[in-house]
Amino acid sequence: METISTVEIVRIWERGAALPPFARALSLLEKVRPVELGDNLTTLSIGARDRGLLTLRECLFGATLESVTECPHCGTAIEFALDANQLHEPDREDALPLRFTVNGISLQFRLLNSNDLAAVAGSGDVHIARRKLAERCVIEATRGGIRMDIGDLPEEVMQALSTQLAKADNQANIALDLHCPECDGSWLATFDIASFLWAEISVRAKQLLGEVHTLAWNYGWSEADILAMSDARRQFYLGMVQ
């Protein structure tokens, strides 16, 4: 994809700042998906969405993702780096129904998408949210060839469905095996490219706007002229006034 300008980074941040997380992720995804898909972006699986966001991240900031987290055992700040290329999972066909059987109950289901996340956004009860997601993604449930009401699925089947959804869409469920050199503790941490990328875009956009403020205040130049400069030129002028 084409290089994204500093002007566009600020526009992406401005457009996404007022959106809820699931809508913000789609707003970012529009930069790497064909325009003709339109509203179909909402029906992409979360994994397909996240593959696109990884591509956008590489275009904006490169393939190395640097992050900091806190050890849950001793509280030490842990710095680590990820390779975006290693996080990419192979593309899969979202439209195909998936199947599995547990405790004599057979389910056909599809992968979760952004519409599903929107439907449970703000839900304060994990069990209610999981039920609602099941009702949306389960195409058919049968026992002994007889169709069941999805709302009647027992809890162990719901838990098995959650496991199957995670296995079927690995890109949406990236777990990092982290280790603390201070206390020798280990733990698994979930990596969410949508929130990670948005945090980076926010930092970069605010940095750019701060540079605009400084240069506009000192030289009277317009925002458009300042953002149109190369990073090297902008940093040179900043060095003259700071």
Task: Write the CB contacts of 30 (distance below 8 Å, at least 6 apart in sequence).
Answer: 41
Residue 1 domain-assigned?
no
Domain boundary among 116, 150, 168: 168
Judge if 27 and 83 occupy the same domain: yes
Cβ atoms 102, 160 nearer than 8 A: yes
Residue 75 domain-assigned?
yes
Judge if 79 and 122 occupy the same domain: no
Domain boundary among 144, 168, 192: 168
Judge if 15 and 131 occupy the same domain: no
Q: What is the pLDDT of residue 236?
A: 96
Q: In which element (H, E) is residue 45 found?
A: none
Q: pLDDT in tens for each of the 242 residues of the chain? A: 567 899 999 999 999 999 999 899 999 998 887 654 545 888 899 999 999 999 999 989 999 999 999 999 999 999 999 998 888 877 666 667 899 999 999 999 999 999 999 998 877 778 888 888 888 999 999 999 999 998 888 989 988 998 999 889 988 888 899 999 999 999 999 899 999 999 999 999 999 999 999 999 999 999 999 999 999 999 999 999 97
Residue 224 domain-assigned?
yes
Judge if 201 and 186 occupy the same domain: yes
Judge if 72 and 182 occupy the same domain: yes
Judge if 46 and 61 occupy the same domain: yes
Predicted TM-score (pTM) of this structure: 0.86
Domain boundary among 143, 168, 193: 168
Judge if 159 and 179 occupy the same domain: no
Residue 79 domain-assigned?
yes
Taking alpha carbons only, the member of 232, 230, 227 closest to residue 208 is: 227
Judge if 179 and 220 occupy the same domain: yes
| Rounded Cα distance, 96 and 98, in Å | 6
Question: Residue 234 sits in which domain range?
Answer: 6-90+175-241
Judge if 179 and 85 occupy the same domain: yes
Number of structural domains (the chain) is 2
User: Which pair of tokens denotes residue 111?
Assistant: 């992968």
* Sequence-separated contacts (24+) of 184-191 with Cβ below 8 Å: 185/71, 185/72, 185/73, 185/74, 187/71, 187/72, 187/73, 189/69, 191/82, 191/87
| Rounded Cα distance, 125 and 105, in Å | 25
